Chain A
């Protein structure tokens, strides 16, 4: 078994309105930062996992994300994996 460190990014699907992102974008504009657009707020999760190899670790992460960390109705996810 190898120990892996995963960094998981959960983001709202592009079709889902993100009012919090819009509020932050407006705040940035009020601060005078021009040229900023498309602010979207997501979640970042770190975790460690043990797996036989990288493929098994990826498979496990897909399960974890599909079952709990992301709601596929409204969210997408991606992750980065490195041997810990």
Chain B
């Protein structure tokens, strides 16, 4: 399975993601400069974290117009996997691949922490290696990660089971770090091939970082796609 990692001016989690894909999972991986529009050799597109184009105007607002993102939209529309992490999630919402928007954290703090997440469903290519309701601990690092959508959109997300990760655990610990609606940490599109999440699974994949709770996401993804 070939990973393509989009690199924008201002991306800063691209090489962490490359290490996971190439270094740990031993998968072919290509860094895709934002001006490159050819993704035909890529199976899994990852839009990484960072501050693309300085987050000018709004986070992700400028990045969505790059040639690589136009091809990413086509990749997603063809039903192929697209993962947006942190700034990547913001870019996917700006590009219209995922509903809603990510706005300033309610407490105005840039949160840099490890937070518990509940895995809401495991019938996705992204979550095959987790159990539904499982709590995992994944780092977050963002100032504008508060998921916002209007009441109708939130209802649609919940009705369609599009919430993939929620802050907090089922044993009652609430750990919503940013005031996200419905404690949303990550969502997918209706088809499930596009997922965006504010937490950083790539930063919890190598034991040297203190946790490998995120590695199951990538291992499950590769295993599922290879088997398909």
Contacts and interface: CB of A to CB of B under 8 A. Distances in A.
A68 B61 contact: yes
Nearest to B149: A73
Q: What bracket does the count of chain B residues touching chain A fall in?
A: 20 to 34
Given A16-B103, A68-B61, A74 B148 contact: yes
A82 interface: no
B146 to A, nearest CB: 8
Contacts of A56: none
B111 to A, nearest CB: 13
B148 A73 contact: yes
Interface string A41-54: 00100000000000
B148 A71 contact: no
A71 B104 contact: no
Given A23-B108, A71-B58, A71-B94, A15 B101 contact: no
B35 to A, nearest CB: 19
Nearest to B106: A19
A28 interface: no
B105 A71 contact: no
B108 A19 contact: yes
Contacts, number: 37
A73 B100 contact: yes
A69 interface: yes
A17 interface: yes
B41 interface: no
Q: What bracket does the count of chain A residues touching chain B fall in?
A: 10 to 19
Interface in B71-112: 93-94, 99-101, 103-108
A37 B58 CA distance: 26
A17 B101 contact: no
Contacts of B100: 73
Contacts of A15: 150
A74 B99 CA distance: 11
Given A73-B101, A73-B148, A74-B101, A17 B106 contact: yes
Given A68-B57, A68-B61, A71-B61, A19 B149 contact: no
Nearest to B100: A73
A19 B58 contact: no
A68 B58 CA distance: 9
Interface of B: 57-58, 61, 65, 93-94, 99-101, 103-108, 146, 148-150, 179
Given A73-B93, A73-B99, 18 more contacts: A16-B103, A17-B103, A17-B179, A18-B104, A19-B104, A19-B108, A19-B179, A23-B108, A43-B57, A68-B65, A71-B58, A71-B61, A71-B94, A73-B100, A73-B101, A73-B148, A73-B150, A74-B101
